[in-house]
Structure 1
Amino acid sequence: MKIINAPIICLLCFLSFSTTGLSQYKKIDSLKKELKTYTRKDTVRVKILNHLAYYLYRNNFSQSLAYAEQAGKLADEIKSVKGKARSFYMKGIAYMERANFKVSIHNYEKAIELYTSIDDLKGIAGCKNALGVLYNYKGNKKLALQYYEEALAIDQKLGIKKNLPNYQYNIGNIYSDIGKYKKALANYKKALRAYTNNNNEYGMLSCWNSMAMMYLNQGDYSQAIEYHHKSLDLAKLSKDSLSIFQSLNNIGNIYRQQQLYDKALDFYKKALAIKQANHNNKNIIAIKNNMGGIYLDKKKFAKALSCFKETNTLSKAIEDNEYLAVSLNGLGFSYLGMKNYSKALANFQEANKITSVNQKQYELVESYVGIAYVYYYMKKYNLALINAEKAAQLANKYKLLKHRSDAYELLSLINNELGEHKKALISNQQLKILNDSLLNREHIQKITEVEYEYKYKNELASAEKRELRLTQTVQTTTNSLEKSQRNLLLGVIAFLITTLVLGAAIFFLKLRNEKSKTQNIIIEQKLLRSQMTPHFIFNSLSVLQGMILNKEEKKSVAYLSKFSKLLRITLENSRDKTVSLSQELIAIKNYLALQNLEDKTYIYTVIVEEAIDTSLFEIPPMLIQPFVENAIEHAFVNQKEDRIIDVHLSYSNENLICTITDNGIGVDAQKEKPQGTKKSLSTTITSERLKILSKDFKMSSSVTVEDRKKYNEQGTRVTLIIPYKLQENVS
């Protein structure tokens, strides 16, 4: 069964304001106060009422509708055609959010009629874009794209550029749904850049969710989970219950894709527990379809049947053919598992009719596979062959690997029954090729283990050689310093009295410079040792050994891959005075992922502001990791859940600023505990190192550790001002 992502729709709001999630509630309060103080019955009051309807439509349907109705009545009273049109538009948005499409369309058409009467092209464009969202919501991609293009043409005619990212995002959704992933991703990235520059947080989380879905479809789980967590964090900050619901569903989808069914079900249930989001039947359908798919995978056909019956009823009630096709295929496979072939066939055929029209290729191929299986089990082999061949043809066209495997397996079985043994052999060989490339995980694991063992030994030997060279360099520098002191002393004695002061100054500067170099080399050597302690290596290997003994093959390979990558990056970075900021961030992400891979008890983010091009910044290596390590080691004493670590990089007043925050017990509480006096060796070394680096880079650098309770928050904040060099951007 296909994994269903709860959709985030992006409306192009043509009103003269923009919404940002973090200020939404303040804006609502401000508008309510303004409504109380402004009592005149004019167009200004109509605008305030329509504004309130817009800010409330996602999370408070009844209040949003009430304000839109009030705006419409007042507009009638003062004969404001534009205000009346806006009230219809706001009601259309509210009813669409409730998946009441008939009423929503009626309100949009009324709004277009009024805007047309006063030749308000901007208003017409907003309504057409909203209709595009609605028909995309219903699964009519062709009509949705038509409305988007009509709205875009109007805005281009008017010279309006601010709505461009909304169109790019919505058109990206269309391309994603019809399988044109490169075009979809290109539109999402353009929209995200614009939303970030405009600080449009709702637009940003919409893009993050959609991009995560794209990466999930391509099997890139790490990118998918990263973007979904970005969206979830922003949704929680803005207290947007619908976006939280959608992000929880989508994170559950990633676990389902990895066959971690119990974890997936936990996230689905958390999403369903959000009462404010349950008013939207489409959200409920998405979750229930996903749960039904898990029960199918676990061969719990009765539970799956129950889920798909519920989503079938809900999809018909809101006339959503896209999700109706998913539920019909789900019912087909449920009945197939229960050997009720007649009902299975009826549901597959109905799904096939729907998907042939709305171009949803995944469900279309799914229906052909289901029909072929039914005819095969009914021993109607000729009919089974026709549908299996169609499934294979479409699966190859759309590059659906799972369905290709299913189709070849069916063709092999059917041709054997028909006596076409040569064709059966060909299909079986094609199936074997697919299985060899996709399913032979044990062989891949063995190759990976051998490869990383070899790399690990080489890197370890290389590290020992570098440490020896560092020791020799320290000794040579010390000897050089002593010789330099003697030579300078003899020179000072030989100088004339008139040049004594100048000679002493030169001597002092050279002495300080040599000591600084020596101290820097010693500190870098200590830092390398702190990164490469046997305790760290053997502890990681012990965790890996436990996974292998528990036969957690996937987990152990993932852990070994992360560990090897972190080890290699750490060793490579330690040999250079500066490294690319992008390379340093890769090391931080791998370190966090490695620490979190065992039991996934941390939620972490690594966010870089849009203004920073990480490929241009060169920084000293291994500055950030000690403070991340401190957060993991000391921040969460007796705190087993909801442990959050955030790393954020910003650029302000020519300062590169890194903040590391956690929601643990706080640095003040750590100091009160006996172990709180035991400072991290790596942190101490880093603090000493910053003093030297400030002089080397000729810019200020510092580290500040604060307890977040001074900001009425929980945990610790570390602010690190990092010295840097900028590379020239060669294009």
Structure 2
Amino acid sequence: MKFIKYILTLFVFFIFIINIKAQNKKIDSLKIELENYKFNDTTRVNLLYDLSRANFRKDIGATDRYLNEADSLSTILNYEKGKARVYYLKGMLENVKANYTESLHFFNRSLKYYEIIQDKKRVADVYVAFGITNYDLSRYDEAIKNYQNATKIYRELNNKREIVTTLINTGNVYSEIGNYNDAISNYKDALIISEVINDEDGISYVHSNLGVVYKVQGNYPLAIDNFNKSLDYDKRTGNILGMARMHNNLGETYISIKKYDKALQHLYESLSLSHKTENKKLISVNKSNIGNVYFYKKEYLKAIEYFSESLQVSQEINDLKHTSITYINIGNVYLKLGKPIAARKNYINAKNISKTTENKRILSASFLGIAETYLHEKFYLQALNFALQGQQIAKELDLLEPQKTASDILSEVYQNTGQYQKAFESHQEFKKLNDSIFNKENIEKITQLEYEYKYKQALDSASLRELKLTKTVLDTSQNLKKSQRNLFLGVVAFLIITLALGIIILLLKLRNQKSKTQNVVIEQKLLRSQMTPHFIFNSLSVLQGMILNKEQKKSVSYLSKFSKLLRTILENSRDRTVLLSQELIAVENYLALQNLENESYAYTISVEDSINTSIFKIPPMLIQPFVENAIEHAFVNQTGNKTINIKLTYSNEELICVIKDNGVGVDYLKEGKNQDKKSLSTAITSERLQILSKDFKKKGSVTVEDRKKYNEQGTIVTLTIPYIIIESSENINNRG
């Protein structure tokens, strides 16, 4: 299998090299032909145009030079078709540079000449170009009209490839104004036609734009999957602008899932490629996104620096949409710096622009930002008014993240104004929305449907084999009547033995399956035993004390963490494996909850950079029992500095988790009352790891040592965790 994979990889690479060489060869061939052609006629104009087109996505300077020469010669010759083609490509070039006014000027001139020579297909192409540029200028109604004009002509010409273009671009407009149902409908129609006509370019753009919709809806794995599919195609074709856009989209998505280092890698790559294409709009977007990363990393001065540069470029090219987004980003920074008035000024600027452009998604964010500034100043009535407006728009557009933000703001407003029932309801809504971002129930439902489909296929296949076998037996019986009696008896005996062996094999398989089921049941019981009644009783007692002491905020925080932890543990206990990221979240919640009452110890959880916690799946509840042991027993009669450190490393295909504390040490505990009592959690975990090692075909072990053998204090637990690695699954881009 690995050999076949290797051969396929070489084949794809070989095809990629051939495509690049073919393109370069075409440019070289056109250059030689132009040098050898000595006449200043329409043929020379066409050669100059072909050269500029061939260099369009590779060398902007060369494209510009060839176009200017073709323009001058077409004017001298009064060559209308040449002028039409040159002005169209000049318009495209200015659009790439985000010089939209110049772009529209050249498109108008191109349209005039194409109408004179009655080239319907090219007239429709210019309408598409108008639509793209109007979209960039946030003139959404104009963009839809342009695409409709183009679609009408393409349908008359039965040009399916270009119909795909208008469907994609129309979907982009609907997505931008928050009409996601119509957007997805247009994208899927485009995907169907692209697959029918084998239009890889169209398929790539559809994946890109579906990725944008999935990202907005919070389905990040599918968004990443679609962006990567589009990026692979752009790399194969050497599309620098396409690669820049996809790296930017991936950077934005990784910001959403808090993978900031990964996000910066993609964003800096996108920024570098954007400078090569002189695309000011994408440069502005990249600087804004890099500012967002530094904002989330709490490096606010660096964030302000990138946001300010982004705002300057956006205003320079009159990009109203991104100007309003940047105002919101700057407002967010000022809010974090404790400057609500400065923040509100930026949010209001964003609100005014988004009302002008009718961008409801940005308008919702503006309202919520203004609400947060008033909340910061304790002006609760004003905060309530803007939060409700932002929430209403978010619900109309079915945007989960803004709805979650609105619920969080409303919960705090209601709590501070004494409306505790509404505060509780808003907090419940916040939790519900938070859980909905990754809707596990839907994923499980899809998995179940796939399983049922495969099971039905297996049954159908079995029925077919049974029919074939029956036919074979009947044919054999007819032939045996003509044969000797002994041969018939031999065949019958053979069939009986075969049937008996089949029954025995079936029974063994059923027995083996039953044994596996019993093991799973036992393992789930062991998992549930990790959440001890003692811990639950203590947690509820602490919560009761907080309530009696009227520590409202602290009790709400404690209850939220406790319920989240309990839910996580119960969910994990139903699954054979969980994502490493989920397991670490449960451990961190447990540590935070245990430490919330008096902060008696410090703790850290560190993961080696080479480990992507979103692709490793491990058995649940392996780490928590040892963390619980450290909290309960490590610091007996000990005061002062208490630490628990958890570190995950990956080396030689082994996933290692090391849990250290600086307590009294395991040898000290053995010398006390529990000398002859083996740790229940260690025993259970050791037994589990023996079974799991065979099941996963990966090493699994646990060792517990006193750190004094290393001239240190405390206990060190080393877990070698069996694992499996899953493959990754799964900005709106315009197609010109």
1:394 to partner: Cα distance: 2.2
Question: Structure 2 vs 1, CA of residues 509 and 371 (structure 1 numbering), >3 Å: closer, same or farther?
Answer: same
1:340 to partner: Cα distance: 2.7
Mapping of 1:318-333 within 5 angstroms? 318-333=317-332
- Quick check: 1:432 aligned with 2:431? no
Mapping of 1:314-713 within 5 angstroms? 314-378=313-377, 383-411=382-410, 421=417, 424-425=419-420, 427-439=422-434, 499=483, 598=613, 600=615
1:194 to partner: Cα distance: 2.2
Partner residue of 2:29 out of 25, 30, 33: 33
Q: Percent identity at matched positions?
A: 25
Distance 2:108 2:235 in 1: 35
Aligned partner of 2:53 in structure 1 is 54
Question: Structure 2 vs 1, CA of residues 21 and 325 (structure 1 numbering), >3 Å: closer, same or farther?
Answer: farther
1:61 to partner: Cα distance: 1.4
Could you give the per-residue CA deviations for residues 90-111 of structure 1, whole angstroms, max 9, x where no partner exists?
A: 1111221122222222211221
Aligned partner of 2:119 in structure 1 is 120
Q: Is the 8 A contact 1:21 1:238 kept in 2?
A: no
SS of residue in 1 equivalent to 2:318: coil
Q: Is the 8 A contact 1:133 1:144 kept in 2?
A: yes
- Quick check: 1:229 aligned with 2:224? no
Distance 2:569 2:78 in 1: 70
Distance 1:221 1:344 in 2: 29
1:165 to partner: Cα distance: 0.6
Aligned partner of 1:168 in structure 2 is 167
Could you give the per-residue CA deviations for residues 204-257 of structure 1, whole angstroms, max 9, x where no partner exists?
A: 211111112222222223322222222222222223233233223323333322
How many residues get paired? 508
- Quick check: 1:282 aligned with 2:278? no
Distance 1:131 1:100 in 2: 13
Could you give the per-residue CA deviations for residues 396-416 of structure 1, whole angstroms, max 9, x where no partner exists?
A: 323334433444554565577
Aligned partner of 2:290 in structure 1 is 291
Distance 1:561 1:246 in 2: 40
Q: Is the 8 A contact 2:74 2:80 kept in 1?
A: yes
Distance 1:21 1:145 in 2: 39
Could you give the per-residue CA deviations for residues 339-391 of structure 1, whole angstroms, max 9, x where no partner exists?
A: 33332222111111110021222211111122233344445555444433322
SS of residue in 1 equivalent to 2:218: coil
SS of residue in 1 equivalent to 2:423: helix
Question: Structure 2 vs 1, CA of residues 431 and 278 (structure 1 numbering), >3 Å: closer, same or farther?
Answer: farther
Could you give the per-residue CA deviations for residues 636-691 of structure 1, whole angstroms, max 9, x where no partner exists?
A: x9899xxxxxxxxxxxxxxxxxxxxxxxxxxxxxxxxxxxxxxxx99xxxxxxxxx
Letter in 1 for 2:218: G
Q: Is the 8 A contact 1:372 1:384 kept in 2?
A: yes
Question: Structure 2 vs 1, CA of residues 156 and 203 (structure 1 numbering), >3 Å: closer, same or farther?
Answer: closer
Could you give the per-residue CA deviations for residues 168-221 of structure 1, whole angstroms, max 9, x where no partner exists?
A: 000010111111111111111111222233333222211111112222222223
Distance 2:106 2:114 in 1: 12
SS of residue in 2 equivalent to 1:169: helix
- Quick check: 1:146 aligned with 2:142? no
Distance 2:352 2:304 in 1: 21
Could you give the per-residue CA deviations for residues 467-491 of structure 1, whole angstroms, max 9, x where no partner exists?
A: xxxxxxxxxxxxxxxxx9xx99xx9
Aligned partner of 1:463 in structure 2 is none
Letter in 1 for 2:196: N
Question: Structure 2 vs 1, CA of residues 63 and 527 (structure 1 numbering), >3 Å: closer, same or farther?
Answer: farther
Q: Is the 8 A contact 1:21 1:201 kept in 2?
A: no
Could you give the per-residue CA deviations for residues 239-277 of structure 1, whole angstroms, max 9, x where no partner exists?
A: 323323322332333332222333323332343344765
Letter in 2 for 1:26: A
Distance 1:255 1:82 in 2: 47
Q: TM-score, normalised by structure 1?
A: 0.58
Could you give the per-residue CA deviations for residues 535-573 of structure 1, whole angstroms, max 9, x where no partner exists?
A: x999x99xx99xx9xx9989999998885699xxxxxxx
Q: Is the 8 A contact 1:241 1:276 kept in 2?
A: no
Aligned partner of 1:659 in structure 2 is none
Question: Structure 2 vs 1, CA of residues 511 and 400 (structure 1 numbering), >3 Å: closer, same or farther?
Answer: same
Distance 1:265 1:392 in 2: 31
Distance 1:75 1:556 in 2: 74
Question: Structure 2 vs 1, CA of residues 384 and 507 (structure 1 numbering), >3 Å: closer, same or farther?
Answer: same
Q: Is the 8 A contact 2:161 2:199 kept in 1?
A: no
Aligned partner of 2:71 in structure 1 is 72
Could you give the per-residue CA deviations for residues 292-331 of structure 1, whole angstroms, max 9, x where no partner exists?
A: 2333334433222122111101111111111111100111
Larger CA deviation: 370-379 vs 360-369: 370-379
Larger Rg: 2
Distance 1:102 1:145 in 2: 19
Letter in 2 for 1:211: L
Question: Structure 2 vs 1, CA of residues 511 and 50 (structure 1 numbering), >3 Å: closer, same or farther?
Answer: farther
Distance 2:511 2:239 in 1: 45
Distance 1:304 1:516 in 2: 74
Aligned partner of 1:464 in structure 2 is none
Distance 1:22 1:104 in 2: 34
Letter in 1 for 2:126: C
Question: Structure 2 vs 1, CA of residues 201 and 59 (structure 1 numbering), >3 Å: closer, same or farther?
Answer: farther
Letter in 2 for 1:191: A
- Quick check: 1:130 aligned with 2:129? yes
SS of residue in 1 equivalent to 2:198: coil
Q: Is the 8 A contact 1:272 1:278 kept in 2?
A: no
Question: Structure 2 vs 1, CA of residues 415 and 433 (structure 1 numbering), >3 Å: closer, same or farther?
Answer: closer
Distance 2:73 2:492 in 1: 80
Question: Structure 2 vs 1, CA of residues 342 and 69 (structure 1 numbering), >3 Å: closer, same or farther?
Answer: same
Aligned partner of 1:200 in structure 2 is 199
Q: Is the 8 A contact 2:20 2:238 kept in 1?
A: no
Q: Is the 8 A contact 1:351 1:367 kept in 2?
A: yes
Question: Structure 2 vs 1, CA of residues 36 and 332 (structure 1 numbering), >3 Å: closer, same or farther?
Answer: same
Distance 2:138 2:348 in 1: 18
Q: Is the 8 A contact 2:168 2:187 kept in 1?
A: yes
Distance 2:47 2:18 in 1: 20
Distance 1:342 1:48 in 2: 60
Aligned partner of 1:654 in structure 2 is none
SS of residue in 2 equivalent to 1:237: helix
Q: Is the 8 A contact 2:407 2:429 kept in 1?
A: no
Distance 1:214 1:185 in 2: 8
Could you give the per-residue CA deviations for residues 594-618 of structure 1, whole angstroms, max 9, x where no partner exists?
A: xx9757499xxxxxxxxxxxxxxxx
Question: Structure 2 vs 1, CA of residues 309 and 522 (structure 1 numbering), >3 Å: closer, same or farther?
Answer: same
1:86 to partner: Cα distance: 0.4
Distance 1:72 1:506 in 2: 94
Structure 2: unaligned runs, 5 residues or longer: 1-15, 452-472, 532-561, 580-610, 618-650, 655-694, 697-736
- Quick check: 1:212 aligned with 2:211? yes
Question: Structure 2 vs 1, CA of residues 59 and 124 (structure 1 numbering), >3 Å: closer, same or farther?
Answer: same
